[in-house]
Amino acid sequence: MGVQWYPGHMNKARREIEEVMTQVDIVIEVLDARIPDSSQNPMLSTLRGDVPVLRLLNKKDLADKARLDLWLDHWRGNDRILAHPFSTLDKSDVAKISQWVGQMVPHRGTAEKPIRAMIAGIPNVGKSSLMNALLGRRVAKVGDEPAVTKAQQKLKVTNGFQLLDTPDILWPKIENPDASYRLAVTGAVRDTAIDYEDVALVGLKFFMSDYEEALTTRYKLKELASDPYDVLKVIGSKRGALRSGGKVDMHKAAEVFLNDVRTGAIDPYVMETPEMIAREELLVEEAKAKKEAARQAKLAAAVPQRQRANNRAYRDAQSGKPDENLDDNQ
Ligand SMILES: Nc1nc2c(ncn2[C@@H]2O[C@H](COP(=O)(O)OP(=O)(O)OP(=O)(O)O)[C@@H](O)[C@H]2O)c(=O)[nH]1
Ligand SMILES: [Mg+2]
C-alpha cells in the first residue's frame, strides 16, 4: 500500500486511542459512505469499548441511498452506535450533529459539563472538512489527497460541546485484499498503492455487476463487453485517452474512469453491503486459520529435526568428533 502502516506507528496510535478513550464521551467516526465497512479503523472499533460512536457516513452526495439504508439497518440494533448519512457540504447535516451527540450522551452538554467528542477516521474521509464546518471557520487544512492532516489539531469548545485532538492517522481495514481495492477505487489510499490499471479494472468490474446503468449512461454505451478490460478500452477511446497512432492509452483511460468514480461524475454508488462484508470476513478468518495451521505444521516439523541435530551434536561431542556445523574460518 502507498500509505504504509508501520507496527511502531500502529502501537503509538493504540496508546493514543486508549488514552483518549478515557477522556471522551463520544467518538465521531467519519466514514466514507461509499465504503462503510472498509473505511472503519479496526483498532478504533475494538478499543472504543463502551464509548458510544456517532458514525457519519460522509460524502453522502456520492453514495447510493438505498444501500446506505442497509447499513443503517445493520447497525440499528446496537445502542452504542448512531449512524447517519452525512455531508460536510450540507449545512443542515452539520447543524444536526449537536443533537445527535446529545442523544447519545444525554447526561452532559452544558457549559460546565460539555460533551467531550473526538473526531476520528481514516485518511481523506473528511475529518478536517467536518472540523471546519463545525467550528464555522477554517482551522484544518482540507485536501483531496489522503493523509493531508499530519499533525494533530487542538480544538475548542463550542456551546456545550468540546472537540478533542484526533489521534494520529488511522489506517483502514488492511487484512482483506478486496477492501484494499475498494479503498483504492474510492481514493482513500494513494494512487501509487496498487497498479492504477488494476484498480480501474476492479472498479469497472464492480460497476458492471452492480451499477451497469451508471456506466452505460455516463459513457453513452449501447452495450457492455463482458471483459472489464474491453470496457475500459471503449471508455478510453470515447474519452480521448489515446496515444499517437490512435491506440488507447490504458493508463490514461484508467485515470479518466477513476477520476469520474472518485469525484461523483458517475451516478452515486456504494461498494459494500453488510452481507457481502460478512462473507468476506469469513474468508479472511479462513485464510488466517490456514496460515496459522501451516505455521504450526512447520514448527512441529522443525522440532524433531532440531532434536535430531542436537542428539547428533551430543554424540559427536562425546566421541570427540569436531562439530561439522562449525566453520573453520569463523
Ligand atoms: N463530495 C464530497 N466531498 C467531501 C465531503 N466532505 C469532504 N469532502 C472532500 O474530501 C476530501 C478530503 O477531505 P478532508 O477534510 O481533507 O479529509 P481528512 O479526513 O481531513 O483527510 P486527511 O487529513 O488526509 O486524513 C476533500 O477533497 C474534501 O473536499 C462531502 O461531504 N462530499
Ligand atoms: Mg485532515
Which residues lie across from 162 on neighbouring strands?
A: 116, 157
Single pTM value for the model: 0.85
**Taking a C-beta distance cutoff of 8 angstroms, is the pair 172, 187 a contact?**
no
User: What 3-state DSSP class applies to 71?
Assistant: helix
- Ranges in the chain, pLDDT < 70: 1-5, 137-159, 165-169, 190-193, 322-330
- 160 lies in the same domain as 209: no
Pick the atom of ligand 1 nearest to 147's CA: 24
Last residue of a domain, one of 164, 185, 213: 164
DSSP class per residue in 115-150: EEEEEE-STTSSHHHHHHHHHTS--S---SSTT---
The answer to whether residues 117 and 214 belong to one domain is no
- DSSP one-letter code for 242: B
Q: What spacing in Å lies between the alpha carbon of 309 and ligand 1's midpoint? A: 60
Structural domain contains residue 240: yes
In a domain, 315, yes or no: no
pLDDT given at position 150: 42
With respect to residue 321, please indicate whether it lies within any of the assigned structural domains. no
Rounded to 5°, the CA angle 73-63-236 comes to 145
**Domain membership flag for residue 288:** no
| Burial class for 31, CB neighbours closer than 10 Å (0-12, 13-18, 19+) | buried
**Are residue 134 and residue 53 in the same domain, yes or no?**
yes
Domain closes at, from 125, 146, 164:
164
**Same domain, residue pair 207 and 66:** no
Shortest-distance Cα residue to atom 21 of ligand 1: 124
Domain harbouring 247, CATH code: 1.10.1580.10
**Do 129 and 221 share a domain, yes or no?**
no
Q: What is the pLDDT of residue 193?
A: 59
Could you tell me if residue 271 is inside a domain? no
Which residues sit with their C-beta closer than 6 Å to ligand 1?
58-59, 61-62, 87-89, 121, 123-129, 142-144, 146-149, 264
Q: Are residues 40 and 94 in the same domain?
A: yes
Nearest CA to ligand 1 atom 23: 149
Task: Name the residue among 127, 273, 262 with its Cα closest to residue 188.
Answer: 262
Phi, psi of 233 (to 5 degrees): -60, -45
Q: Classify residue 71: in a domain, yes or no.
A: yes
Q: Is residue 27 part of a domain?
A: yes
Are 41 and 150 in a shared domain?
Answer: yes
Alpha carbons 185 and 206: distance in angstroms, whole number: 10
Ligand 1 atom 11, closest CA: 144
Within a domain: 245: yes
Q: Which domain holds residue 236?
A: 195-263
Could you tell me the CATH number of the domain that includes residue 135? 3.40.50.300
Same structural domain, 234 and 144 = no
Ligand 1 atom nearest to 90, measured from its CA: 31
What's the domain count of the chain?
Answer: 2
Give the integer Cα–Cα distance in Å for 251 and 236: 9
DSSP one-letter string for 274-322:
HHHHHHHHHHHHHHHHHHHHHHHHHHHHHHHHHHHHHHHHHHHHHHTPP
CA atoms of 40 and 218, how far apart (whole Å)? 30
Same domain, 199 and 81: no
CA of 124 to the centre of ligand 1 (A): 5
State which of 217, 242, 263 marks the end of a domain. 263
Closest ligand 1 atom number to CA of residue 142: 16
Ligand 2 centroid, distance to 141 Cα (angstroms): 6
Same domain assignment for residues 38 and 147: yes
The ligand with the least distance to the CA atom of 140 is: 2
Which pLDDT score is estimated for 154?
46
Same domain, 156 and 218: no
Output the pLDDT for position 137: 60
Cell (9 digits) for 292: 496459522
Residue 286, pLDDT score: 95
pLDDT of residue 112: 84
Co-location of 38 and 139 in the same domain: yes
